[in-house]
Structure 1
């Protein structure tokens, strides 16, 4: 294989980032998710690589690293947006309940479908494969709902963030229940672990306690650092904590979530004696800088992740009838379950929320994180691509229709402005009898 010109790589990377920016602008005006455009760009790059003899490059290690960093940045970005104010507790609680019930119900039904239609799929493997397919993509949703009114936009931000976190916790809980398989490709059954759920709950509680301690320490230490390069140092510390936590089998994403919530709601977390230790002005400066860096980093990582994902996918798998049947059944179940849940917890005004349920970065990341001992050879990766594209297109159509409906309503109001008349003082008719104030 020929060596690649480093300047050519720099040119290509720069062009991809510039195109991603324009995709984002197009997305704001058309509601077409920029993710879809990035995936298409990746497919076109794949065709170019095949034409020049570079089609056998292995992008999966890069994809995994980008996915992990992107996941951390997206959760941190979302956590920094979550303001734990008293008047939002109800909205946050409702979004949490909807996300939890939606995740569990969607995973259960998808697992039934996978176990029924895919040979060699055991119950536990079916749940493991179904979990990534049941997680909402905050990477797609958050940039796509900016045009919605405040309450609906906040609901989607909260729901997708909780779905990400709960879905990842469910996935790693399921992987923790896998037996150590000595034979490759061995079909797995449900592991009977006495107290397995209790051990996982203890793991989560331990992670929360350690996360709070680490988050308080980070804020108090970094507020006293005078160097101008402390923001990327802070991100490096968070990445280190996440990676060490994963090696210790902790729920590492909770570390990122809690730190983001703490620094975004410092007045809530720093009370009593802790309030005296906090230099709010300096800590607020850290928060504002971190918010900018996180948004920018998430944008770059998300860009390259979906482009490389587009490079790695095989379009021929979409032509399989079995892939289409399984994918369509899962997509149908997603919206039926979502309809029932939203009607119960939100009410009748569920448009376009009903159709805002795309799958994306975390779905891909967790799919590639399935342990080899749980992998099913008969599972077609085309199901993954079909569901990601299908749910994204459905969301796009729903957002376009909602935007047209809103624009039409605004135009009707503008075309029929409220009239006004000059006010005149009332006059008495001639010859009218008027009673005196005394009644005489």
Structure 2
């Protein structure tokens, strides 16, 4: 009777602590919530004179009922999950750098599983409640560095726990016997416990094994499991096949994406190469045009020496006739047109034919040759102007401005009158000079 009263008092105290810790957790006061729940799940210790620490009794949670154990351990694991999910700076500010790192390491290295087994179930792996195992496996599945430890722990639990026994009649008869020693349920004797075991198998076969890339072993384990009935087995195999198909599709998408990136990179390289070649060709053309323009700017300007300018056509003609009559020889006829001053020099090769005396007579150019020469001169002039515009556009602009100013000045009536008067004087002077030359 005293033992029963003490047990009820302990369970009541644990429930009170559980409610306090839950309230603190809901208000996001994680350090206070953790410090409140720790005395319940930690075994009391003592330190001797030599500084050695030893456990003097079991943790209070190990003596509580199954429902209380599940509630307390679930809250503890939930608090640890929230602590691990904290940002680094926030976790260090709340718990201190070293304490926060210890808590994170406890979860990521799977140390928390051993802590639960030792403090809550006296080190017996198979006695851990199925709901607690589910919470532990889920926590490690989310935060553990590797799933190999999670796989080992689940395999140890499945091997240690008893197979489900749904014959409830035997349990009722056994419990009705006076003086029968109570046996701890390992979570496999009721339909609820069977569902929990199925959930553990789901975590093990469809999550942990797949994270360790053991697809074939997962399929074999599902097919050989005695816990699963035919309907659940087919559902598990269908889910496994669906996950495998998704993995293959994801791998195919990654391959397609990698191939697209490679093709795009190759296309970009080819485009860059093509642009470089085009740029080099444009640069070569530009240099060639500059050389052509520079060569065109070296054209000779002036009066052709082969066509002398005659000052007085009539007098020269008379002198030529006089010389011709005195010599008595027929001189070859030459037609020379004096080009205007500043015209482009052109050399035309005239066709010749031998005369009766053996001399070569130069024939005058026809209209086609003259037109060809004129077009060539205009083309050269355009090239020279283009080269001049490219090399020294300022001079061209100044010339155009000067021409515009002259045209504007000529448009003024007063300027026209003055120019007309000056031209009259010049023409009169030239007329007087002509009369003097005739005299």
Please say whether Structure 1 and Structure 2 have the same fold, judged by a TM-score greater than 0.5: no
TM-score by length of 2: 0.27
TM-score by length of 1: 0.27
